Structure 1
Amino acid sequence: MAHESGGHCQDPDLAIVIISHGHDAMLPACIASLQPALTELSSEIVVIDNLPDGAAAKAVAGFDVHVLRNDRSVGFAANVNRGAAATTAPFLLFLNPDTEHREGRLIDAIRFLDEHPRIGLLGCTLVSENGTLQQNFRRFPSPAVPIARGFGAEHWPWRPAWYTRATMPMGRRATPFAVDWIFGAFLLMRRADFERVGGMDERYRLYYEDVDLAWRLRRAGLATWIFPAIRFLHVHQRASARRPFSRAWCWHVGSALRYFAPRVGHAPPPLMEPPDNGDGGP
C-alpha cells in the first residue's frame, strides 16, 4: 500500500524517485509497469506529491510505495534532492510519472555502471506512443541552440552544421554509447556520484537542471551514456514549447539564462568515450 511516511525495504539495491505534479492519472500505469524491470533487484519507490491536494497518495493506493507530500510546490531539482535524501539504496533512478517500462532490466544497467566506474549517469531509450524514438540526449548546448529552437529549427528544411552537431542525430543503436547530457525523464546513477557533485542545483525551478547535472558530473571526470536495451514509453509534453510566455516558458528562459551565464566563453568538456575496464570497452 501507499504510505505517507515510514520505513523502507531492508537494504534495497535501487531507489526510484517519481515526482508528481498533477500526474495522478499516470502514476498507476507507471508504477505497475516497473515489475519486470526490477527482476533480481530489491527496490524502494518514493513518490513526491508536488501539489498539496494529496491526490498522488490516492492514485497509488495499493502499491508498495512511499508518498512524500510537499506543503507547497517546489522545483524539479529540489524534489529530486528530497527524494534522494529520503532513500538509502546505493543506486538512484529519477523517473518521470509520464513513463511506462517497455523492455529491459534495470539490473543490467546497474551491472554496466559497476563495470564502468567512469560512467556516472545512464539514460535509456525513450519512445513515443506511436513507437517512434524520442531524442532524449544532446551535446552540451551553446546559447545559439535554444535561440534556434525558439525560431523553429526543428522544422527548418535545412539546418546549420553546428545545430545538427549539437542535437546529435540518433539513429538506432543497440549498444551503449556516450552523449553529453540526457533528459530528466530517466536518470540512473550511483548515489555516491550524485552526492559527490552535490545533487541537483535547486536554483533551477524547471529545465536545464539535467544539463547542469551532466556538466558537473563531466567536470568531476564522469561520463553520461545511453543504455539502449532499456526502453520506456514517454508521453513528452513540452509545456513550454506549446505555450509561449506561459509560466513554464518563463521558467525555461530563466533556467537557460542561469545555465549559460557562468559558461559564456568557456568550452564544454570534451565528449567522454574512454575505456575504463581494461578490455577496450567503454
Structure 2
Amino acid sequence: MTEPISRIERSTAHFVTGGDATVTALVVTYNSADSIGGLLDSLRTEAAGTTLRVVVIDNDSADDTAARVHEHPDVVFVDAGGNLGYAAAINLGMERVDRSDAILVLNPDARVSAGCVEALVAAVTEPDVAAVVPLLQDEYGSVSPSLRREPALLATAVDAVLGAYVPRRPRALSETVRDPKAYATPHDIDWATGAALMIDADAARRVGAWDERFFLYSEETDFFRRLRTVGRVRFVPDAVVVHTGAGSGSSQALQNLLSVNKIRYAEMYHGRLWSTAFRLCAVVSEIARTGSASHRATLRVLVDRRRWTHLPSARQRPVEGRTGMGTVIVPAHDEAAVLARTLRPLSDLADRGVVEVIVACNGCTDDTADVARHFPGITVIETSAASKTEAMNAADDIAMFWPRIYLDADVVMTPKAVTDVLTRLTAGAPMSARPRSRYDTGHSSFLVRRYYAARQRLSTFDGHLWGAGCYGLTEEGHRRLGRFPSVVADDVVVDGLFRGDEKCVVLTDPVVISVPRTVAALRTVLSRTYRGNTAVARTTQTSSTFRELLRSVRGPVTAFDAAVYAGFALVGRRAARRVVDTGWARDESSRIGS
C-alpha cells in the first residue's frame, strides 16, 4: 500500500491548477470525507515526478467532503450543483482538463501506489493505445478481479446460475476474468471496473462524453466499448491502485440500478431478441437467489419496467426561485394497507411541485412500493433492511429540499399542515417543529378510548416533538442530528437535541394518529414505546407526568380516565422490562385498509 507522505513532501509536491499538465486526475465524490484525503495524499506523492492536475467533482455531498478537499488549495474543486450521477460528473470534470496528455479517472476510495501514474503514462503513450487500467488490490494486498469481457449471452447465463462459484471455468462462460495468470502480465482487454482508468486525451476527445443516461453502473462498460473503436485498451499490472470498494456506498436502490443498467446497455447495442434473452438471464439470476429479500426486491424491479422510472437518477440541487417548499419523507415497512390514506392528501402537493414527497420502503414483503407508485408526483425508493432510520437516511441522501418533514406511514397529515409547518421552519426561528395531533379512536375498544382521552388532556406531550408520528427539521437542525441513529425512538432522540425555544408545535390542522383497537394491541405499543425510550435520554420524568395526570382529574369521568391511563402505563412498563427482543413489535390492529 502507498506510504503516507511526510509534511516536507507535501510542501514540495504541488499540483498544477491551470495550463499544461501531463495528467489531469478526475475524482467524483459523494459523501467521501473519510476517503478523499488519503487519495489526494497518494496523488501528491506522484506529483513529485509528473506534472499533475487534480480536479474533484462533488455530487452534492452532505458530509465534510468539500472541507477535506479545500485543505488542498491546489486541487480544483467543482460543485456539481446536485447529485448528477457518475457519468455527468465526469463530463463536468472534462471541461477542466485544459491542455493535458492524459486523463486519469479515479474513485475517491482509491490510493495510487508509488510509480503508478508514471507506469500508466508510459503505457498510454504506446502506439494505438486509447486507454490503460492498473492492477487493483484490496486493502490487504490481494488482487481484485477487476477485468471484464464484453457481455455475452452464454457468459451471462452461466454467471446467472453460478455467480462467483467455479471461478476457473472457461473464459467463454464468465464475464469476469478470474484466472490469476491474466493479472500477471500486460495485455489488451475489453473493459475493467471503473475505479481507476487512464485515457489518452486525444482518444477522449474522439470518443466524446460519457453517457449520462446510466447515472451509475454500466457507464464504464459503454465508455470502454467506444474507446475500443479508436484504439486498444491495455491492462498494466506494474501500476497498482489500492481500492477499498466503498466509494459508491450500497443500498437496495443501487443494487436494482446495477441490474437494470446491464439490461439497458444490452438494449442499446443488440436487437430485441438478444436483449430479451439477456434480460431473462438476469431474471433467472435473481430467481436463483430469492432466499434473500434484497434479491427478491431486485427481481420485482426487473420484471416490471414501470419501476425503472423510480430508480436513482440525476437530481439537480434546487436553485433560488424554485417553488419547492420542502421535502416530506415517509418511511414505510409493509404499510400497503394504510399508505394510501397517508399519501392521498400529499399527492397533489407533490405532483404540482409544491413539496417533494419521498416514500422510503424498507424491507417490504407486501405491495407498499406499488401503492406508493400509484400516486402521481411521489418518489419511491426501496432498501432491503427493515429499518425505519436506515430508510430515512437513504431518503435524506436523495432529497432536494429543506426543511424536511418526517412522517410515519400510518399518520395522516393535511396539505395545510404540511405547508404551515414548512413555512414555520423556513421563517428561521425554530429548528424543529411539528403540528398538533389528534387520536382516531373510532375503531377502538372502550378502555383504549379512555386511555387516549386521558392522554389528550396531558399538556406534557404538547411541548415535545415525540408522540405525534411527525416532526420537521431545518437544514441547520438536521446538521445537529447528522445521520439518524439505529434506535426505535427516533423522535425522542431528535427532541432531545433542541432546547424549548428551538422547537415548537405549529397551530394548524392536527395530524391524525390511528391508535390500537384492542387492549392487547395497546399493551404491545406501550411495551415497544417504553423499550425504545430506555435506549435514549429521557425527556419527560414519570413523576411529572403522574402529577399532571392527577391535576387533570375534574370529576368521575376524568378520574376514571386517569386510572385507566395509569394502569396501562404500569402494565406497559412491566411488559417492557420482561421483553428481551428489541424488535418493532408493531400494532397491526390500527392498520385498517385505506
Is TM > 0.5 for Structure 1 vs Structure 2? yes
Counterpart code for 2:137: V
Counterpart code for 2:36: L
Equivalent position of 1:109 in the other structure = 120
Contact in 1 for aligned 2:31/2:61 (Cα 8 Å): no
Q: Say if 2:39 is the partner of 1:30.
A: yes
Which of 117, 128, 140 lines up with 2:138 in the alignment? Answer: 128
Structure 1 spans left out of the alignment, 5+ residues: 2-6, 268-282
**Partner SS state of residue 130, structure 1:** coil
Distance 2:191 2:122 in 1: 21
Which of 202, 216, 220 lines up with 1:192 in the alignment? Answer: 202
Equivalent position of 1:229 in the other structure = 238
Equivalent position of 2:80 in the other structure = 70
Within 5 Å, give how 1:26-65 maps onto structure 2: 26-51=35-60, 53=62, 55-63=64-72, 64-65=74-75
Distance 1:226 1:120 in 2: 12
Equivalent position of 2:213 in the other structure = 203
Q: CA deviation at 1:152?
A: 5.1
**Partner SS state of residue 221, structure 2:** helix
User: After superposition, what is the alpha-carbon deviation per residue over 1:207-242, rounded to whole angstroms, capped at 9, x for unaligned?
Assistant: 11111111112123x1111111111110124979x7
Distance 1:188 1:157 in 2: 28
Using the aligned pairs only, state the percent identity.
Answer: 23
Would you say how many aligned residue pairs link Structure 1 and Structure 2? Answer: 256
Counterpart code for 2:142: T
Q: CA deviation at 1:190?
A: 1.4
Equivalent position of 2:228 in the other structure = 218
Contact in 1 for aligned 2:191/2:225 (Cα 8 Å): yes
Distance 2:171 2:135 in 1: 25
- Identify if the C-alpha distance between structure 1 residues 22 and 148 changes in structure 2 by more than 3 Å, giving closer, same or farther: farther
Distance 1:137 1:160 in 2: 15
- Identify if the C-alpha distance between structure 1 residues 152 and 103 changes in structure 2 by more than 3 Å, giving closer, same or farther: farther
Q: Say if 2:149 is the partner of 1:139.
A: yes
Equivalent position of 1:276 in the other structure = none
Contact in 2 for aligned 1:77/1:204 (Cα 8 Å): yes
Distance 2:167 2:178 in 1: 15
Report the structure number with the largest CA radius of gyration.
2
Contact in 2 for aligned 1:38/1:105 (Cα 8 Å): no
Contact in 1 for aligned 2:188/2:232 (Cα 8 Å): yes
Equivalent position of 2:253 in the other structure = 247
Distance 1:60 1:50 in 2: 13
Counterpart code for 2:123: F
Which of 9, 12, 32 lines up with 2:21 in the alignment? Answer: 12
- Identify if the C-alpha distance between structure 1 residues 117 and 152 changes in structure 2 by more than 3 Å, giving closer, same or farther: same
Q: CA deviation at 1:181?
A: 0.3
CA RMSD after TM alignment: 2.8
Contact in 1 for aligned 2:146/2:177 (Cα 8 Å): no
- Identify if the C-alpha distance between structure 1 residues 10 and 238 changes in structure 2 by more than 3 Å, giving closer, same or farther: closer
Q: CA deviation at 1:147?
A: 5.5
Contact in 2 for aligned 1:153/1:159 (Cα 8 Å): no
- Identify if the C-alpha distance between structure 1 residues 131 and 65 changes in structure 2 by more than 3 Å, giving closer, same or farther: same
- Identify if the C-alpha distance between structure 1 residues 66 and 238 changes in structure 2 by more than 3 Å, giving closer, same or farther: closer
- Identify if the C-alpha distance between structure 1 residues 256 and 238 changes in structure 2 by more than 3 Å, giving closer, same or farther: farther
User: After superposition, what is the alpha-carbon deviation per residue over 1:158-206, rounded to whole angstroms, capped at 9, x for unaligned?
Assistant: 8566324x32334255542111101110010112111201121111111
Counterpart code for 2:238: A
Equivalent position of 2:95 in the other structure = 85
Normalising by structure 1, what TM-score? 0.81
Distance 2:104 2:187 in 1: 19
Distance 1:62 1:219 in 2: 40
Equivalent position of 2:106 in the other structure = 95
- Identify if the C-alpha distance between structure 1 residues 185 and 69 changes in structure 2 by more than 3 Å, giving closer, same or farther: same
Which of 149, 167, 183 lines up with 2:193 in the alignment? Answer: 183
Which of 245, 267, 270 lines up with 1:264 in the alignment? Answer: 270
More helix by share: 2
Distance 2:168 2:123 in 1: 38
Distance 1:158 1:87 in 2: 41
Contact in 1 for aligned 2:135/2:143 (Cα 8 Å): yes
Distance 1:49 1:103 in 2: 26
- Identify if the C-alpha distance between structure 1 residues 158 and 119 changes in structure 2 by more than 3 Å, giving closer, same or farther: closer
Equivalent position of 1:154 in the other structure = 164
